[in-house]
Structure 1
Amino acid sequence: MSQVVLQAHGLVKRFGGITATDHVNLSLQLGARHALIGPNGAGKTTLINLLTGVLPPTEGRIELLGQDISHLPSHQRVARGLVRTFQINQLFASMTPLQTLAMVVSQRRGLGARWWPKLGQDAAVVARCEELLALFRLTEVMHQNTAALPYGKRRLLEMAIALACEPKVLLLDEPVAGVPAGEREELLQTVAALPADVSVLLIEHDMDLVFEFADRITVLVNGAVLTEGTPDVIANDPQVKAVYLGHGEEVRT
């Protein structure tokens, strides 16, 4: 039986009289490629904010590797292996990809603020940075300031930072949002090549990416789970088709 690495039990989030998340149950298996989809206003971002500790739940609990993390702050969840990317880049504009990754890798390895003088001196840090730069196709731009990078490369750098945190669970929040068509293919190929031992929860509106990437899909509507299943089951579900067609979208494989 597959190991469950991340589990939400009856998650509820209320803002006054509005229920943004309505008794959501979600299980992420070890090595999963799991997508969370739903129309605008379905509660996807609220659910991710609950899972990552940005918001406290009104009811319910969250477990990571069998441990209750419902009330842990975000940084402690990251330390335990639950890492996310964001819809909008949150990068250091004046730093290069190499400097950024060296800082993250060094801090992860306990070097803290001493990363800068050790850049190039710690063989293990250098090796990990080179590995991440290659995996995320950033080697050619590793010495350029982040502010000067094409938008697609900045999205790749954000994913590289997340992986540098050595996640057990990686939440990808709309990784191709705003990426120009000419830069999308590189990003899609990189997402597909993420390490198999990292369990991924993808939040995305791009149905081509969802059906290409996911082995399981959860559909959220009005804060509640409408249905869950394999891509084939979801693509042919009449309820899902009705929800998406009602919002001008087409579910396709």
Structure 2
Amino acid sequence: MTFALETTGLSKSFGGFEANADVSLSVAKGARHALIGPNGAGKTTFINLLTGVLPPTSGSIRMMGEDVTRVSQQGRVRRGMARTYQINQLFADLSPIETISLAIAEREGSGARWWNRVGKDSAVIDESEALLRRMKLGAMMTRRTATLPYGKQRLLEIALAMACKPKLLLLDEPAAGVPEDERHDVLDSVEALPDDVTVLLIEHDMELVFSFADKISVLVQGALYAEGSVEEISTDPHVKAVYLGEDTHV
């Protein structure tokens, strides 16, 4: 079986501190896979290894069967990997339609001259508008991004990742910091992502995890601690003890 994402013995050390230790994780094509763990579990380091921000100390990463362990961040994006961030990485002074049009123009190889072409390129504008409407941003696509409610900014970051037409999407805590009255838009949009896009979700919001995932992996102290279905993980007394904060006698 060819997995969308597969790590084998992936480890990362910073001096004498091992942030990730021998992590072997497989994400099936089309999966809705969640990665959870307590603060300090090594989730951010793991995502930075997957995306090429950090080189591993040991181990390998395969994407769609291809070894990408030493491939650059840009090379992984070209192969179909996209990500969001815990803290928004958006252009505050651009509007959503400008932001998404820029991403699409860059994807199509015309990003360096996007300001001359985007306004005249109906295909780029049409794709941008359609994507923003799917992400519940149609009513504010011309507003300055800095003025958008925080939940809408989170949706825009997901839309920005989707503008790359990814095969593999890494969502890093998309509901983090989103007010309660805006969370359902984020949850609905994540659940409505296309079936042909494999999603690895890193999240603390258990409502989102349990409603979205078909498989959950648990990291504890940098190592893979448990894996299973939503039912298996949600009822595992050991996981409850280390992650959900419940007192168990096991």
TM tier, smaller: over 0.9
Q: Pairwise mapping of residues 1-253 of structure 1 onto structure 2 (< 5 A)?
A: 3-245=2-244, 247=245
CA displacement, residues 193-219 of structure 1 (integer Å, 9 cap, x when unaligned) = 001100000000011110000000001
- Map Cα deviations across residues 130-166 of structure 1 (whole Å, 9 max, x no partner): 1111111111101100010000010000000000011
> How many matched pairs?
248
User: 1:249–1:56: structure 2 CA closer, same or farther, 3 Å change rule?
Assistant: farther
By how many angstroms is 1:172 displaced?
0.3
Distance of 1:223 and 1:249 partners within structure 2: 22
Counterparts of 1:49 and 1:85 in 2: how far apart (Å)?
Answer: 11
Residues 85-136 of structure 1, C-alpha deviations (whole Å, 9 max, x = no match): 0000111111000001111001101112222222232232122111111111
Question: How far apart are the structure 1 equivalents of 2:240 and 2:111?
Answer: 50
- 1:50 counterpart letter in structure 2: L
Structure 1, unaligned stretches of length 5 or more? none
Specify the SS of the correspondent of 1:4.
coil
Separation in structure 2 between the aligned mates of residue 248 and residue 99 of structure 1, nearest angstrom: 46
* Structure 2 unmatched ranges of 5 or more: none
Give secondary structure in 1 for the equivalent of 2:106: helix
Report the alpha carbon displacement of residue 66 of structure 1 after superposing the two structures with TM: 1.0
- The CA distance in 2 between the partners of 1:71 and 1:174, in whole Å, is 26
Q: CA deviation at 1:248?
A: 6.2
Q: What is the aligned-residue RMSD (CA, Å)? A: 1.4
Q: Distance in 1 between matches of 2:230 and 2:188?
A: 19
Q: Is the contact between residue 173 and residue 202 of structure 2 (CA under 8 Å) also seen in structure 1?
A: yes
Aligned structure 1 segments of 4 or more residues deviating by more than 6 angstroms:
none
Structure 1 residue 239 displacement after superposition: 1.3
Paired residues of 2:241 and 2:247 also in contact (CA < 8 A): no
Distance 1:110 1:127 in 2: 17
Deviates more, 1:70-79 or 1:164-173: 70-79
Identity %: 57
Q: TM-score, normalised by structure 1?
A: 0.95
Distance 2:69 2:218 in 1: 23
